[in-house]
Amino acid sequence: MSTHIGAAPGDVAPLVLMPGDPLRARWIAETFLTDARCYTEVRGMYGYTGTWQGHRVSVQGSGMGQPSCAIYATELFREYDVQSIIRVGSCGALTERLAVRDIVIAQAACTDSSMNSIRFEGLDYAPIADFGLLRAASDAAHRSAPDRDDVHVGLIFSGDSFYAARPELTRRMVDFGVLAIEMEASALYTIAAGFGRRALAICTVSDHIVTGEETTAQEREQTFGEMVEIALAAGTSA
Ligand code: HPA
């Protein structure tokens, strides 16, 4: 096992879907995978491996925030030879171009985290998604409905503080194309790049920072399910 994942080598599939919430990991495994087996319960951060349409796939909780996500991503890439991680999470909409329940496929992620500024000694690294996964996710989302306007491919912001001291700073970035805020993608993209592996973050809009609208638990589950299907299709085809 690695420091935070109680799996034996070979227990984890080359493709990992990564929700923040470990109970979502269990729900994905039980809902979408056949023959799913739990390979870790360390800290309650569940991980499962099963089969989706003939492909071995794992689902691993990451916890909330970039430091937690970075621990799981690093161990999956370094100790378990994982090739692709697709985050499936939620985000807050920062612009009225988005509505609650929309899906955001994150092309790149800005951040206020110090993780990259320390790693790159103050230089401004630009964390981006793997293009193959990004294109496959967009294709999968548009296959049945080419003209749909509830799926967005673009820039997001990975904030370190859910309860931000100065939220106006994030909103300023909206003028420069940022669509939504979450808390993990920037670190995930950077770590994947450092290992020469692939990463993508797909998020459903759970709350709207501009209008104050929120989704119900039932709506969240439904949109979350569609996002998981997009992630599975993208990860197994790209
Ligand atoms: N901020 C940060 N992360 C989030 C939010 C938010 O408003 N909504 C869902 N994830």
The answer to whether residue 147 is catalytic is no
pLDDT single digits (tens) 147-187: 999 999 999 999 999 999 888 888 899 999 999 999 999 99
55 closest CA partner among 21, 17, 6: 17
Asked whether residue 4 is assigned to any structural domain, the reply reads no
Asked whether residue 25 is assigned to any structural domain, the reply reads yes
Residue owning the nearest CA to atom 7 of ligand 1: 92
178 closest CA partner among 160, 199, 201, 155: 155
Q: Residue 149 corresponds to which tokens in the numbers above?
A: 């306007």
Residue 144 has pLDDT above 90, yes or no: no
pLDDT single digits (tens) 52-105: 999 999 999 999 999 999 999 999 999 999 999 999 999 999 999 999 999 999
Residue 201 has pLDDT above 90, yes or no: yes
The predicted model gives 220-236 an average pLDDT of: 93
Ligand 1 and 20: CB distance under 6 A: no
Give the distance from CA 113 to its chain's centroid.
17
For residue 199, name the pLDDT band (cuts at 50, 70, 90).
very high
Which atom from ligand 1 is nearest to the alpha carbon of 92?
8
Asked whether residue 2 is assigned to any structural domain, the reply reads no
Asked whether residue 6 is assigned to any structural domain, the reply reads no
pLDDT score recorded for residue 99: 96
- Pocket test of ligand 1: the residue of 170, 206, 227 to mutate, having most ligand atoms within 8 Å of its CB, is 206
Asked whether residue 94 is assigned to any structural domain, the reply reads yes
Alpha carbon of 56 to ligand 1 centroid (Å): 30
Report how many domains make up the chain: 1
Asked whether residue 80 is assigned to any structural domain, the reply reads yes
pLDDT single digits (tens) 41-55: 999 999 999 999 999
Alpha carbon of 92 to ligand 1 centroid (Å): 4
Q: Which domain holds residue 92?
A: 15-237
Alpha carbon of 90 to ligand 1 centroid (Å): 7
For residue 233, name the pLDDT band (cuts at 50, 70, 90).
very high
Question: What CATH number does residue 159 fall under?
Answer: 3.40.50.1580
Residue 100: C-alpha distances to residues 46, 222, 230, 236 (Å): 28, 12, 18, 27
Ligand 1 and 19: CB distance under 6 A: no
For residue 218, name the pLDDT band (cuts at 50, 70, 90).
confident
Ligand 1 and 92: CB distance under 6 A: yes
Structure pTM?
Answer: 0.97
Which atom from ligand 1 is nearest to the alpha carbon of 182?
3
